[in-house]
Amino acid sequence: MSKPILYLLVCYCMLAGIVLCPPSVQGSIADREDNQLSGTTLNIEKAINFGKAMGWNTDGKYEQRFVQHGLRSSLLEVHNEDYAVDFDESTGQIRRVSNNRFYRSKHQLRVAIDKNTANKKAIGYLQAAGIPLDNIELYDSRSAQYSQDSYQWYVRFRRVYDGYPYYFSGILVILNPEDASLIGFGCNLSALKPLSTDVKVDKAAAVECARTYMAEMGYDISVPTFAELLIVQPDDYWEYIGTGDIAEPQDIAQLAWVLRFNAPWDVTEVWVDAENGNVLGGSRSKSMPVKGSISSPFASTAQVECMPQVGRPLAAKIVKGDLCKAVVSQISNLKRTDAAKCNFSARIKVDCGSRSYTYGYSPANHLLVLLEKSYKGKAYKAKSAFKTTAEIEQLLSLCAGA
């Protein structure tokens, strides 16, 4: 399987909540109160009934715990030695199932089922779990290599609204490729209604919007290898690169052109709003070494504000032209380091057109710390620290005296 396909499959597994590794490595949430587990007899009964429907061993003691699900939520897990069933706390709906017994053994599985068999079995398992299949479409069904000597079969469904699919709202079912028995599934159907499904930007215009946006950050993208109208949750992913912070989905949904390129990363995704052409977010397959946080070639000014001496006002210097370009080029080549608590003797704000970057500078600690980044007036907190060199320290000294 190609790297881009494998990457996207793993991403979808993570968002759908599928367990692709032995359940023993899952993290539990230990700080939940024990009394929050009371009143879950019904969930145990549901787990037992589902296990029986699958032909799994339902004997033995059942235990319960809260397990992490995504960045900000958790599920209530009911498990015995052989399998685990995870429930949504608020609705009581089954959200994730894992055949633990399967993961405790080594396998050399070969593909002996066809797509129709896999699809029918997957739908049957979801119905047995009480998963609602309204506004759900079958999207993909294929075998894939799970380990060096073994395969699994993956059936993916996705939620649809007004004829448009959601990107990461759906279901993933994993099957044994020899007999179509269930290995596990995960579902994430709690997506928001999109703000709009009006398409005012066509594919060609969306590609141009993406190309312009990425070029402003110094990234060249090629012809898209994938383009589809999908409902996404904006996350401003590309604006978080270099800030040291993590992009999180916003509490809104919007129809967007999901564009995929094979450069500068193997999988480079840009989400373009289908209504107005704004870039909403995206993703990438792997990291490149990040040095400075200014990739834009359009830096126009650098403002250096020196901390005031006693009894004197704040001294601000505006630097343009060659000196500004020299500062920006040096920042882009700085190496990341651990941030340390220190006092900043100067604040440097670099204007790159629609983006600006604000740094704190400590000559004593030889540190330049990105404090904030903004894009079209929206501010993003940052905490990236960079080790300064003699070259940039000399340039900043010149800026302060400019």
The answer to whether the predicted template modeling score (pTM) of the entire model surpasses 0.75 is: yes
pLDDT in tens, 345-385: 888 888 888 888 899 899 889 999 999 999 988 999 888 89
DSSP string, 90-116: TT--EEEEE-HHHHTS---------HH
- Least confidently predicted of 66-80, 178-192, 254-268, 359-373: 66-80
| Contact indicator for 158, 169 with CB cutoff of 8 Å | yes
Determine the Cα angle at 177 with ends 173 and 178, to 5°: 140
pLDDT of residue 3: 46
Helices (H), 96-179: 100-103, 115-128
Answer whether residue 99 shows pLDDT above 90: yes
Average pLDDT taken over every residue of the chain: 84
193: tokens are: 């209604």
Q: Are 94 and 50 in contact (CB under 8 A)?
A: yes
The better pLDDT of the pair 202, 65 is held by 202
The two counts, helices (H) then strands (E), for the chain are 8, 19
Q: Right CATH number for 301-400 from 3.30.390, 3.30.310, 1.10.3860, 3.30.1490? A: 3.30.1490
- With cut-offs at 50, 70 and 90, classify the pLDDT of residue 28: very low
Q: Is the dihedral of CA 55, 154, 281, 241 positive or negative?
A: positive
Per-residue pLDDT of 36-62, as tens digits, reads: 544 468 899 999 999 999 999 999 899
pLDDT tens for 312-346 read 455 667 888 888 888 888 887 888 888 778 888 88
pLDDT at residue 5, as a whole number: 46
Domain boundaries, the chain: 3-188, 203-284, 301-400
- DSSP H helical segments within 196-289, as ranges? 203-216, 237-240
Beta bridge partners of 138: 157
